Chain A
Amino acid sequence: QKEVEQDPGPLSVPEGAIVSLNCTYSNSAFQYFMWYRQYSRKGPELLMYTYSSGNKEDGRFTAQVDKSSKYISLFIRDSQPSDSATYLCAMSAMNTDKLIFGTGTRLQVFP
């Protein structure tokens, strides 16, 4: 079983939809949770970062962490065609350089 599980998609939604992207994990030591966005043929770039449980909002994006369920989510409101990309979750424990990535979910937002 992988430490981090993520549905590969693709997820196809119309412009303006609310998108929910999710990851589950098995290691209860994970404390840092990140979402990276990767456009086609580009490197991943950090989108959101949260520490421990709770929500974090940045514009149209909300990151949510539920440590009791070992479940993290990224919500995108009012999705745009420019949001079409692969979204990778990533997480790590305290005091370690080791970062574990999900396999990524490909999102397509059509006009």
Chain B
Amino acid sequence: NAGVTQTPKFQVLKTGQSMTLQCAQDMNHEYMSWYRQDPGMGLRLIHYSVGAGITDQGEVPNGYNVSRSTTEDFPLRLLSAAPSQTSVYFCATKPVGVFSGANVLTFGAGSRLTVL
């Protein structure tokens, strides 16, 4: 039982390059989300999904794209990387249902991205 697995752990990009951060979970959680964490800004929601085929924008979606074709996977795509996207990215999941209001998230270990 691996929980939430993020790859890669570290990545350096040049401005304008594209890449995909991977998130996989084995807990059968319907809800999956991507956050970025920046000093002094806390965790900010980028995109989220409440099930396969359903995605929605969070607080800071610009420059990022997501899709959800399976319950297990929720990749985050950077279309044209910018230095402002230098951050630590976390994937977080939770079940949807009776306890969904509690919003108790399970986080991955993070992906540290630097854009030069």
Binds A, one of B62-70, B79-87, B95-103: B95-103
Interchain CA distance A94-B45 in the complex, whole Å? 18
Interchain CA distance A94-B31 in the complex, whole Å? 16
- Nearest residue, chain B, Cβ from A102: B42
Which A residues are in CB contact (< 8 Å) with B110?
A: 41-43
Query: B96, B105, B106, B112: which contacts A99 (Cβ < 8 A)?
Result: B105
Q: Please name 22 pairs of A and B residues whose Cβ atoms are closer than 8 Å in the assembled complex, sorted by A.
A: A4-B42, A8-B40, A32-B102, A42-B109, A42-B110, A43-B4, A44-B43, A44-B90, A44-B105, A45-B107, A46-B104, A46-B105, A88-B42, A92-B103, A93-B101, A96-B101, A96-B103, A97-B96, A97-B103, A99-B103, A99-B105, A101-B42
Please give the residue numbers on chain A whose beta carbons come within 8 Å of chain B beta carbons, in ascending order: 4, 6, 8, 31-32, 34, 36, 41-46, 49, 51, 88, 90, 92-99, 101-104
